[in-house]
Structure 1
Amino acid sequence: MDETTRWRLMVTLSRRDALKLALLGAGAWMLTPIWARGKKMPMPDFPTGERLGRVCIGGKVEVKARPDADSPTVAVLYEDAVVPWEREVVGINLHRTNQRFVQTPQGYIWAPTLQPVANKPNTPLTAFPYAKDGMWVEVTVPYVDIFLANPPARSPWLKDTSRPRLYYSQVLWVDQIKQGDDGAVWYRINERYGSYGDIFWARAEAFRPITPEEIAPISPNVENKRVVVDVNYQTMACYEGKEEVFFTRVSTGAKYNASGQAVDKWATPVGTYPIWRKLISVHMSGGTTGGGYDLPGIGWTVLFVGTGISIHSTFWHNDYGVPRSHGCVNARPEDAKWVFRWTLPVVPYDPGDVTIGMPGGTLIEVVEG
């Protein structure tokens, strides 16, 4: 084709054809992996401080002049806002069980609405140190944006958000490592258990590799272990024989839904159950529209009822001591991890999942005070 013919084709291109070509180009760019696009994408600039808090509920959170829900509002924050966590104090919030407030430079925030977080970026790895096909990682920054590698979205939570993120303390499986032209390292997140099939890319600095040593069993040779969950007092205790070796507050099955209606089906079932499955991380979903849930990266999961009831890590609230789950036992990440390591069966690093038959593992006793 000579230059004259080529020029004629270009000038006679219709607006519709030009738009098609533009869309094709944009589509090709979108299909390019995020790490290969050559566009610098810096990590978020979080506040400084040893301890931070992330607004972990939808809608707005009011910052109060005093640790009193009826005191003047001095500022308003929205979901995923991150603030310095100076200290926790006891205040006044009538008609609420939790009376804790977090003091921040701006004022006081009701503690259940703030997830305790930290900003601890990591040096990216270029190879998997502990298993041939991947590694377990934990998010160690308040949040990290993730980018879908295999659209369209499949998970309900992913379809309902325009800003997909992972949050502090979530546990995921990484199965690929790539470095972009700008030098940034990206991890490919591919959930091993419970996934709808979505795969993501995320900046590697946000994730701390979990070592096999830190999931090693605690007191594995001790007999007569049992976990007691009290749904009246919202507590969890671990016993070796008659000696209590661990105690914490938890959140068990909610008694009421968001509309204030009684919901018996969310109750954590009272009784004694052996652990039948444990997973380092799992994608959890269930329920129905409006009352359902869909949550990726749930760490340190200990299943003890066949319907899926478990003890597990929690990142979406800080309201321990109050019933608010769909039947599971919500625990702080560090508490869930301790129970995961202390109970039987033992879970190997790879594959990070164990299922056993009867008589099962450590007994979980769910009691009513």
Structure 2
Amino acid sequence: MFDKKDLISRRTFLERSLVGLGGMAVLPMFRNAKLNLDEFPAGEWLGRNTVYLPSTLPIRAKPSADANVVRYLSEDECVVWLREVVGSHPTGRVNRKWVETPEGYVYSPSLQKVRNIPNEPISTLPQSGEDAGMWVEVTVPYVNLTLENPPAKSPWLNAVSSTLWRLYYSQVIWVNQIKTAEDGSLLYRVEELYGSYGDIFWADARAFRVITAEEMTPINPEVTDKKIIVDVNAQSLTCYEGNSEVYYCQVATGKKLDELGNPVETWATPVGNFWVWRKLYSLHMSGGSAGATEQGFDTMAIPWTCLFQGDGVAIHGAFWHNDFGTPKSHGCVNTTPEDAKWIFRWTTPQAPYYQGDISDPVSYTGTKIEVVQRLY
């Protein structure tokens, strides 16, 4: 059976590693690493293991936590995603979804659903007036990074091995330079514009799809009566235009227990009436502090962020788990990246492409958000 202590995602590992980082050491740079894309299984859809070593994620003979183990997946290993099935849930979990693979079944919450679609790189950056650069989206399971400006500044870089500096499927980031590698391949210089500690990377350009300004056009901008209802009990998000429902998705709001099953009050998603006051194409999120009831977290390139309470509570895409429908976050409203992008385009205010950011903290004109929770 699953032991909750043994299922540690990369994000959770980083959270624990950030406790007491005052004396952190700088890890070796990615100097000699090959930036060529890794090979992945052939399949329309793949599942990427999000469970971090030394823990492992099993493939089982049946969709049950009691079934025999076929083998264990290594970190970030991808398997062919045939279909999702309903099985029995492990002790302490409510999600009953499993992914059928050619070898057996894997518990769905621990597999990010991904595709492997390398792209034809471009050799010249788009330009508009004095602005040059482009937003891109990762369309392969993961892409390796090399750091341009060591030593690493971000806590997440200092908490994991340098061989595991990666961006993952669906992450969004800014490209501001292009260069040709010694083998003739093109590399993109990727940089976070917002929330970054200042780390800058190079990566294989084939991993990234260019996001155009045209695909980010607002959805139904003429409608003024828009509202989002987040139901904490149902773990759902519904978009309304007037009284008409126009979009629905499952979410993961603030979790009530940590990875060891201890109650955590500070991670609850705030309940009440809010409005979208800031939107960013991509945001580096960090938070928390060392202590018995709170741990730090540090995650880069979180896509399609709509802030609605303070500087840290937002609706945004999540790529580090697939447990939508279960409280999972540190207070934010996690959605799939696809859902987050739709919500980002539909809500107001509207972020201009080259800035990738807009804020309106005082006029209360952003899309209204109501977070509801029944206490009985």
**TM-score above 0.5, yes or no:** yes
Q: Which residue of 1 aligns with 2:354?
A: 350
Quote the Cα distance in structure 2 between the aligned partners of 1:94 and 1:325.
20
1:71-220 pair list within 5 angstroms: 71-95=67-91, 96-129=93-126, 131=128, 132-162=131-161, 163-220=164-221
**How far 1:324 moved relative to its partner?**
1.0
Q: Which residue of 2 aligns with 1:20?
A: none
Quote the Cα distance in structure 1 between the aligned partners of 2:81 and 2:307.
33
Alpha carbons of structure 1 residues 41 and 193: separation in structure 2 relative to 1, 3 Å: closer
Quote the Cα distance in structure 2 between the aligned partners of 1:55 and 1:150.
29
Q: Which residue of 2 aligns with 1:310?
A: 314
Letter in 1 for 2:95: N
Quote the Cα distance in structure 1 between the aligned partners of 2:316 and 2:256.
19
Q: Which residue of 2 aligns with 1:273?
A: 274
Quote the Cα distance in structure 2 between the aligned partners of 1:41 and 1:145.
6
Q: Deviations over 1:246-305 (max 9, x none)?
A: 001000001111221211111000001011100000100101247221011101000000
**How far 1:128 moved relative to its partner?**
1.5
- Contact 2:126 2:132 survives alignment (8 Å): no
Q: Deviations over 1:306-362 (max 9, x none)?
A: 141000010000000000100000000000000000000011101010011222300
Quote the Cα distance in structure 2 between the aligned partners of 1:307 and 1:149.
29
- Contact 2:35 2:145 survives alignment (8 Å): no
Q: Which residue of 1 aligns with 2:345?
A: 341
Which one of 46, 51, 60 corresponds to residue 56 of structure 2?
A: 60
Question: 1 or 2, which has the higher helix percentage?
Answer: 1
Letter in 1 for 2:40: F
- Contact 2:190 2:200 survives alignment (8 Å): yes
- What's the TM-score, normalizing by structure 1? 0.88
Quote the Cα distance in structure 2 between the aligned partners of 1:74 and 1:362.
48
Q: Deviations over 1:24-78 (max 9, x none)?
A: xxxxxx99x97xx8x9653211111110000012120011101111111111112
- Contact 2:315 2:335 survives alignment (8 Å): yes
**How far 1:201 moved relative to its partner?**
0.5
Is there any run of 5+ residues in structure 2 with no aligned partner, and where?
A: 1-27
**Secondary structure of the corresponding residue to residue 64 of structure 2:** coil
Letter in 1 for 2:322: N
Q: Which residue of 2 aligns with 1:19?
A: none
Quote the Cα distance in structure 2 between the aligned partners of 1:53 and 1:348.
33
Letter in 2 for 1:43: L
Percent of aligned pairs with the same amino acid? 53
Moved over 4 A (4+): none
Q: Which residue of 2 aligns with 1:252?
A: 253
**How far 1:130 moved relative to its partner?**
5.1
Q: Which residue of 1 aligns with 2:3?
A: none
Quote the Cα distance in structure 2 between the aligned partners of 1:332 and 1:130.
30
**Secondary structure of the corresponding residue to residue 336 of structure 1:** helix
Q: After superposing the two structures, state which structure 1 stretch, 256-265 or 242-251, moved more.
A: 256-265
Letter in 2 for 1:360: T
Letter in 2 for 1:292: G
Is there any run of 5+ residues in structure 1 with no aligned partner, and where?
A: 1-29
Q: Which residue of 1 aligns with 2:25?
A: none
Quote the Cα distance in structure 2 between the aligned partners of 1:212 and 1:307.
26
**Secondary structure of the corresponding residue to residue 145 of structure 2:** strand
**Secondary structure of the corresponding residue to residue 265 of structure 1:** coil
Quote the Cα distance in structure 2 between the aligned partners of 1:168 and 1:337.
14
1:234-245 pair list within 5 angstroms: 234-245=235-246
Quote the Cα distance in structure 1 between the aligned partners of 2:372 and 2:96.
25
- Contact 2:279 2:357 survives alignment (8 Å): yes
Q: Larger relative CO (CA 8 A, sep 6+): 1 or 2?
A: 2
- Contact 1:40 1:182 survives alignment (8 Å): no
1:328 aligns with 2:325: no
- Contact 2:282 2:302 survives alignment (8 Å): yes
Alpha carbons of structure 1 residues 65 and 40: separation in structure 2 relative to 1, 3 Å: closer
- Contact 2:228 2:368 survives alignment (8 Å): yes
Larger Rg: 1
Which one of 287, 292, 298 corresponds to residue 296 of structure 2?
A: 292
Letter in 2 for 1:135: M
Q: Which residue of 1 aligns with 2:24?
A: none
- Contact 2:99 2:105 survives alignment (8 Å): yes
- Contact 2:142 2:166 survives alignment (8 Å): yes
Which one of 40, 46, 50 corresponds to residue 40 of structure 2?
A: 46
**How far 1:215 moved relative to its partner?**
1.1
